[in-house]
Amino acid sequence: MTHYQTLLYYCYSPIENAEKFAEDHLEFCKSLGLLGRIIVADEGLNGTVSGTADACKSYMDAIHADPRFAKTDFKIDDVAEPSFIKMHCRYKPEIVHSGLRDPKVIDPNIQTGVHLEPKEFLAMKDSDDVVVLDVRSNYEHNVGHFKNAVTLDIDNFREFPEKIKELEQYKGKKILTYCTGGIKCEKASALLLKEGFEDVYQLHGGIIKYGKEVGGQDFEGQCYVFDNRVTVDVNSVNPNIVSTCKNCGKTTSKMINCANPVCNEHFTQCDACGWEMQGCCSDACKENPNNRTYDGTGYYVKVPQPVNADKISKRKHKKIVKSEA
């Protein structure tokens, strides 16, 4: 039986000519037979890749052999099959979309909250002078979060800076931030420090590492992940389910995408409602004639779009003009 793994990782480290790096890195991943999604930016790497244990080891060895990424901390999950069906490696302005692109303002390599190992986080989280802050999006913390955590009404991490004012009431306390794997906390904790919060910490390795090292104690529900698995169990100590079906209110941890491609909302839906609603979040979405076929999973592969030659030509022209300037 083939042994597969899924790797979750990130590394804030400057990359020169990051666009070219992304192209070369994609070919390297393909040569190993890996599948997954990697974001490359001038500020570093953020990825989830999946493949055989041997391929994953070769990948980790190669990343650690590069001095720029030697500090990368991989979260490793054993899986029955690869967690992706394609391999993507793309250049973007940031490795996690926050809108905080200016390294003179926010640079995780210079200042972030104090990194807490899972055991340290567990020991501190219930103290009276501590606030546990979830910096993830609504659909993520709705399906699972730490007990008594403060959650924010945001649809995307780029909205986090706008919510800082709502946290002013906690300035006299220790702020313990957490997210899936740790990457969002790097900028979230740095921004909190910049805005005058003095005692700021972050869960090193995020929820995933916390589950592996201390059994996920007091993490209620499941953890949303950005691959075919959608959600994973992390709590083996005192697990429970906190999410409910959007349509009937029944307790369920099953998260899907709305079958209406125009909507595509992330939401929780029980199996019974899934079949009744044909994977849609509402009756209005159910009426869309272009809905995707619901197969019980609620996970849909993106259909490749036709190549826009005119757009590519304009992008290349801008690069030439920029290089000549």
Distances (CA, A) of 196 to 103, 134, 188: 18, 19, 13
Tokens linked to 57: 């080891």
Tokens linked to 230: 């959608």
DSSP secondary structure string, 44-70?
A: EEEEEEEEEHHHHHHHHHHHHHSGGGT
Residue 179: active-site member:
yes
Give the whole-angstrom CA distance, residue 166 versus residue 152.
9
CA 295 from centre of chain: 25
Strand 130-134 with 174-178, pairing: parallel
Of 56, 179, 185, 273, which one is the catalytic site residue? 179
Gyration radius of the chain over CA positions? 21
Strand 266-268 with 255-257, pairing: antiparallel
Instruction: Find out whether 118 and 216 touch, Cβ atoms under 8 Å.
Output: no
Largest CA distance in the chain: 61
Which residues face 175 on adjacent strands?
131, 200
Instruction: Find out whether 261 and 292 touch, Cβ atoms under 8 Å.
Output: yes
Tokens linked to 112: 């972030």
Helix, strand and coil in the chain, % to nearest 5: 30, 20, 45
Q: CA 68, 74, 76: angle at the middle one, nearest 5?
A: 155
Give the whole-angstrom CA distance, residue 87 versus residue 26.
7
Give the whole-angstrom CA distance, residue 192 versus residue 172.
13
Which are the catalytic amino acids?
179
